[in-house]
Amino acid sequence: MRVKKAVRKIHLWFGLASGLILSVIGITGSIYVFEPELAAFLKRDLYETQSNKVLFENDIAMASYIEKETNQSIESIQWPKRGRDTYIFKLFDDKNWYYIDQTTGTITKGGEALGNSFFGFILDLHTTLTIGDTGRIITGISSLFFAILMLTTGLYLWYPNNKGRRKSSYKIKWKASPKRRNYDLHNVTGFYFFIPLFLVGITGAAFYFDDEVQWAIDTITFSEPADESIWEQKSAFLKSVNEVKQLTVEEALVEMNKHYTELYKRNMWMTDEEDGTLSFAYQKNIEIYAGADTRVFLKADAYTGKILADKNPNNMPLGSAIMAEWHLPIHFGEFGGLFTRILWVIVGFIPALLTFSGFKIWYGKRKKFKS
């Protein structure tokens, strides 16, 4: 009895302290689940091409056209994906992103945000509460404690010791008193949504506590940690009497086209630093689909195109591969297709429901105690 009382206090006070934060994280997460479809609708003038006939022979020709039209060098190219048919690119010394319709050659300024500014705000609110690194720490800790502490203590408090009461613990008594309905709503809802809430919470915490979560997965799967030191390599700064220069965007695209031809190109980043590196990213699918999210990242020497690092889930230890392929699909509910995405929208509102109903339980008991 003493243990249960202590657990109840932990559950209560952490819930009251973090309830509002978790509610904001959950609701913004629900809104973001269908971001690809909603953004494509809201920005259809930028996302949709005007024709089915591509104006350029290939991506290299398009990159040359962009640099000629803008009289500037390309820093990044983002290929079409997830409801967006057009390309997006960024220029060096320009904070804005631009859209290009590859069927007409029309270039349109899109602003500082990569994608829809509204969803950029929602994502920032979801991950940092719009207060930067401090907010990222707060949301990371809140998500971790919610998954590890709040849900487990809630399950412990829900579990009926009396066998005769177990059957009734699985349903809400809608015809009971308002106080009883609210109590059941809190407990029964928490029980039925325990697994999806845990998955969302622990994957959310992994955005901040990535090393710790990766260690846990490695331990569970008996995997060796992936070698991350290769990602610290830099380009071999080449300087000779001929003044060797970094690859142009056209030359970089030639190098990018040599690798993972069976995958779709996702994005490419150039560099203007002397020892900086090129970044190539590929993906298995460009549309949302059920299952693992297979993405491959390459780091290349900016002068020679030599591959310095290759991050491919197929070549990783099991624990690292699980994290690489399943982290995002699980957190955004895409792992099971449309069904789990809809479920994840509902799940995002559950923390707010639990916070509200939990507050009513606490306030009712407090009011009764005072009277």
List pLDDT tens digits, range 228-254.
Answer: 888 888 988 766 555 678 999 999 999
Same domain for 198 and 159? yes
Dihedrals phi, psi of 64, to nearest 5 degrees: -60, -40
Same domain for 192 and 174? yes
Same domain for 235 and 211? no
Residue 108 has pLDDT above 90, yes or no: yes
Q: Please give the tally of structural domains in the chain.
A: 3
Same domain for 160 and 197? yes
260: left (phi over 0), alpha (psi -120 to 50) or beta: left
Same domain for 78 and 153? no
Going by pLDDT thresholds of 50, 70 and 90, the confidence category of residue 112 is confident
Going by pLDDT thresholds of 50, 70 and 90, the confidence category of residue 33 is very high
Same domain for 206 and 242? no
Provide CB contacts within 8 A for 293, sequence distance 6+. 283, 284, 325, 326, 328, 329, 334
Same domain for 10 and 131? yes
Same domain for 207 and 63? no
Same domain for 215 and 165? yes
Same domain for 126 and 215? yes
Report if residue 322 sits inside a domain.
no
| Token digits of residue 131 | 């207060």
Report if residue 66 sits inside a domain.
yes
Among 69, 94, 115, give the residue marking a domain's end: 115
Average pLDDT of the residues in 131-159? 94
Same domain for 249 and 135? no
**CB of 142 closer than 8 Å to CB of 25:** yes
Among 115, 144, 176, give the residue marking a domain's end: 115
Report if residue 319 sits inside a domain.
no
Same domain for 210 and 111? no
CA end-to-end span of the chain: 25
Question: By mean pLDDT, which of 16-25, 169-178, 254-263, 314-323 is the weakest?
Answer: 169-178
**Percent of the chain, pLDDT > 90?**
75
Mean pLDDT of the residues in the chain: 92
Question: What is the pTM assigned to this prediction?
Answer: 0.90
Report if residue 328 sits inside a domain.
no
Range of the domain at 87: 44-115
Q: What is the pLDDT of residue 164?
A: 59
Average pLDDT of the residues in 161-179? 79
Report if residue 147 sits inside a domain.
yes
Report if residue 267 sits inside a domain.
yes
